[in-house]
Amino acid sequence: MTMPQTDQSRIRNFCIVAHIDHGKSTLADRIIEKTGLLTSREMQEQVLDNMDLERERGITIKAQAVRTVYKANDGNEYIFNLIDTPGHVDFNYEVSRALAACDGAILVVDAAQGIEAQTLANVYLALDHDLDVFPVINKIDLPSAQPERVKNEIEDVIGIEAQDAPLISAKNGTGIEDVLEAIVHKIPAPKGNADNPLQALIFDSVYDSYKGVIVFCRVMEGRVAKGTKIKMIATGASFDVVEVGYFGAGQFIPCEELSAGMVGYLTASIKNVKDTTVGDTVTDAERPCASPLPGYKKVLPMVYCGVYPADGAKYPDLRDALEKLQLNDASLFYEPETSIALGFGFRCGFLGLLHLEIIQERLEREYNLDLVTTAPGVVYKVHKTNGEVIELTNPSNLPDPSEIEYMEEPVVNAEIMVTSEFIGSIMELCQERRGRYISMEYVEETRAVLKYELPLNEIIYDFFDALKSRSRGYASFDYDIKGYERSELVKLDILINKEEVDALSFIVHKESAYERGRKMCEKLKDEIPRHLFEIPIQAAVGGKVIARETVKAMRKDVLAKCYGGDITRKKKLLEKQKEGKKRMRQIGSVEIPQKAFMSVLKLDDQ
């Protein structure tokens, strides 16, 4: 099948940026539907979010793209390449590469809620990439919609023209024509010369068991076709292109070639996504471009935790599952580790907590694994007295305090957007989490942007939930990594029946050690079932006990009655009791349920 040679001036490469729930995916669906790529009947809701998890959570995890043709009012047909970007701060780098593949962006703002923290973060990111951004006001069908107020807010806060922004309801299909025309007129056509050496930006890739890695790319300069010998500049890997094509809705449609300005995919029997990292530049091995496209960086995991199979025998299954997930997700890191408490498992690295949760859920759902995960931690830099610096991802590996000169932890720049009535409680939250106040700016009379520097380890557990609950859901939050700062950190150890449980250790700021230790002991007291003997639970820092709770000895465990009619039922109870026991981890003579290992995650529950 061939794609008609297209005039660059009839191509529009764009993305949609929005705060979560402002209607990004619904608008994308309407654009696809209205341009006739699919009838609404054929279309499964939200074509672009095609992982089950994405649909359930209403978020986009992987970048996706779709090509569609629009016959504009000027009588010409335009090719729209809509690139859907991930919508979460964990995936900021992926977002930036997807934006770099576009020439313009549609900013969707909820007519009732106005601008939120993610709106700002994403718009700034788009403007940083020199994209032309035009706003649309969505959800005008809501009774609480205030389109005029939102228009003014966009002009005041972001400083882009908004008076003629299309007023739409993506849900009802209102105003979509206006959006399509605006795409033609307000988003610039791509530039670039097809005769120059090939220069294409990789903005995502997926693994296919037949074709190998399918590389999603935007051709900036030159052309690529079947047979082109390509080279990835950053990784240095080279391949012979097997197929190029563009994106139908949920399918790959092969074509003759991709030339400057076009968005599409290529395959080249690539076995490993590691060879096709996002942000890398693809060039022609025989006629390479002079320099790579700007902005490439190697993405490093920010959050680590131990992942163990609940059933030790499932270790090989877990390894296979991680291997398969990594085929599609180069940012997932894992290496084998052993815990005295949990046996054989893996230390896994993630871009952030959402990424961690997604991987965990996919392992459990798609690979049917029952997991025990340890408390997530960040990467600390330990400066040893001998001058050596180690990057600590597992608290158990912390050197003896006498060998430590000092430690550093990652710190983020956080922006929190909040209505004025909650400013006090949000500032309090940030103080509790060791935040350093930077500034506060009112974006309008009743809303402000709070800027704080926060240690990453204070926000990886439940900061987002705390933020939501203290602002009745009104605060929004975004952050990026600022860098490492020296900090007074200690390792908090948990001793159960006088035995240290390695999987429960974590790194904590000296000031919060007592509080955390106390809460941890309280939590564990509730999680650990009574035994025939009393069990002390202690929190210790450097061998010194700072908190203690006791699980009292069990006094009695007997069912008073059992007659003919309830033997089956009673047997089920005993089976359950036995099953529960099997799922416990034995530490010395104490049996610890698996969920106790996750309890540190929920220390702030009331």
Partner 1 sequence: MKTLGVYIHIPFCVRKCVYCDFLSFPAEREIQKRYIDALKREIEENAVRYRDYTVKTIFFGGGTPSILPENDIKYIINALKVYYNISPDAEVTLEANPKTAGYEKFLALIDAGVNRLSLGLQSADNDELKLLGRIHTYEDFLKSYEEARKAGFGNINIDLISAVPSQTVKSWENTLKKAAQLSPEHISAYSLIVEENTPLGDRSSDFPPLPDEEDERLMYHRTKSILEKEGYRRYEISNYAKKGFESRHNIIYWQRGAAHTHDYAGFGLGASSTVGASRWKNTNDINKYIMSDGRDDIKEEYETLPQDDLMEEFMFLGLRMTCGISTDEFFQTFGKKAEDVYKDVLYKWTKQGFMEQSGGYIRLTDQGLDFANMVFADFIL
Q: Which of these ranges, 62-70, 325-333, 462-470, 549-557, lies near partner 1 under the rule CB under 8 A?
A: 549-557
Q: Tokens 């694994």 correspond to what residue?
A: 369
How many whole angstroms separate alpha carbon 22 and alpha carbon 29? 14
Q: Is 553 in the site for partner 1 (CB under 8 A)?
A: no
C-beta of 385 vs 577, nearer to partner 1 = 577
Q: Is 41 in the site for partner 1 (CB under 8 A)?
A: no
Q: Is 562 in the site for partner 1 (CB under 8 A)?
A: yes
Q: Least distance from C-beta 553 to partner 1, angstroms?
A: 11
DSSP letter (8 states) at residue 167: B
Q: C-alpha distances in angstroms, 270 versus 274, 328, 416, 561?
A: 10, 12, 42, 66
Of 5, 39, 568, 606, the one binding partner 1 (CB under 8 A) is: 568
Q: Least distance from C-beta 588 to partner 1, angstroms?
A: 16
> Measuring CA to CA, which residue among 373, 342, 310, 371 is closest to residue 579?
310
Of 1, 290, 313, 560, the one binding partner 1 (CB under 8 A) is: 560
DSSP letter (8 states) at residue 430: H
Q: Least distance from C-beta 585 to partner 1, angstroms?
A: 18
For 111-211, strand residue ranges (E) read: 132-138, 199-208
Biggest CA–CA distance in the chain, Å, is: 88
Of 9, 577, 586, 589, the one binding partner 1 (CB under 8 A) is: 577
Q: Least distance from C-beta 558 to partner 1, angstroms?
A: 4
How many whole angstroms separate alpha carbon 109 and alpha carbon 21? 10
Q: Least distance from C-beta 436 to partner 1, angstroms?
A: 45
C-beta of 389 vs 554, nearer to partner 1 = 554
For 310-429, strand residue ranges (E) read: 333-339, 343-350, 371-373, 377-378, 380-384, 389-392, 404-419
C-beta of 568 vs 606, nearer to partner 1 = 568
For 445-534, strand residue ranges (E) read: 447-455, 476-487, 489-496, 499-500, 506-509
Q: Which of these ranges, 268-276, 416-424, 456-464, 575-583, lies near partner 1 under the rule CB under 8 A?
A: 575-583
C-beta of 41 vs 578, nearer to partner 1 = 578
For 323, the token pair is 């291997």
> Measuring CA to CA, which residue among 280, 235, 284 is closest to residue 257?
284
Q: Is 559 in the site for partner 1 (CB under 8 A)?
A: yes
Q: Least distance from C-beta 590 to partner 1, angstroms?
A: 15
Q: Least distance from C-beta 171 to partner 1, angstroms?
A: 39
Of 567, 586, 589, 595, the one binding partner 1 (CB under 8 A) is: 567
* Helix ranges, 392-512 (H): 423-432, 456-459, 463-470
Of 2, 143, 387, 561, the one binding partner 1 (CB under 8 A) is: 561
Of 571, 588, 595, 604, the one binding partner 1 (CB under 8 A) is: 571
Q: Least distance from C-beta 151 to partner 1, angstroms?
A: 50
Of 185, 287, 510, 581, the one binding partner 1 (CB under 8 A) is: 581
Q: Least distance from C-beta 469 to partner 1, angstroms?
A: 24
- How would you class 501 by CB atoms within 10 Å of its CB: exposed for 0-12, middle for 13-18, buried for 19 or more? buried
Q: Is 563 in the site for partner 1 (CB under 8 A)?
A: yes
C-beta of 1 vs 559, nearer to partner 1 = 559
Q: Is 210 in the site for partner 1 (CB under 8 A)?
A: no
Q: Is 575 in the site for partner 1 (CB under 8 A)?
A: yes
**Bridge partners of 461?**
none
C-beta of 41 vs 556, nearer to partner 1 = 556
Residues numbered 161 to 180 that lie near partner 1 (CB under 8 A) are none
C-beta of 210 vs 563, nearer to partner 1 = 563
Of 74, 195, 445, 557, the one binding partner 1 (CB under 8 A) is: 557
> Measuring CA to CA, which residue among 109, 90, 85 is closest to residue 351?
90
Enumerate residues 6+ apart whose C-beta is below 8 A from 321.
363, 366, 367, 369
Q: Is 544 in the site for partner 1 (CB under 8 A)?
A: no
Q: Cα 105 to the chain's mean position, in Å?
A: 21
How many whole angstroms separate alpha carbon 426 and alpha carbon 117? 14
How many whole angstroms separate alpha carbon 481 and alpha carbon 491? 23
Answer positive or negative: Cα dihedral of 594, 462, 300, 292: positive
- How many residues comprise the chain? 606
Q: Is 558 in the site for partner 1 (CB under 8 A)?
A: yes
Of 5, 294, 555, 606, the one binding partner 1 (CB under 8 A) is: 555
DSSP letter (8 states) at residue 174: B
Q: Tokens 């580790």 correspond to what residue?
A: 337
C-beta of 325 vs 592, nearer to partner 1 = 592
Residues numbered 496 to 535 that lie near partner 1 (CB under 8 A) are 532
**Bridge partners of 494?**
539
C-beta of 340 vs 554, nearer to partner 1 = 554
Q: Tokens 């991930």 correspond to what residue?
A: 86
Of 191, 574, 584, 586, the one binding partner 1 (CB under 8 A) is: 574
C-beta of 73 vs 586, nearer to partner 1 = 586
Enumerate residues 6+ apart whose C-beta is below 8 A from 482.
410, 411, 412, 413, 453
How many whole angstroms separate alpha carbon 26 and alpha carbon 12? 20
Q: Is 554 in the site for partner 1 (CB under 8 A)?
A: yes
C-beta of 386 vs 568, nearer to partner 1 = 568
Answer positive or negative: Cα dihedral of 349, 351, 352, 354: negative
C-beta of 1 vs 558, nearer to partner 1 = 558
Q: Work out the angle between the directed axes of helices 353-366 and 315-328 (0-180°, nearest 10).
A: 120
Q: Least distance from C-beta 498 to partner 1, angstroms?
A: 21
C-beta of 387 vs 564, nearer to partner 1 = 564
C-beta of 250 vs 588, nearer to partner 1 = 588
Binding site for partner 1 (CB under 8 A): 532, 554-565, 567-568, 570-571, 573-575, 577-578, 581
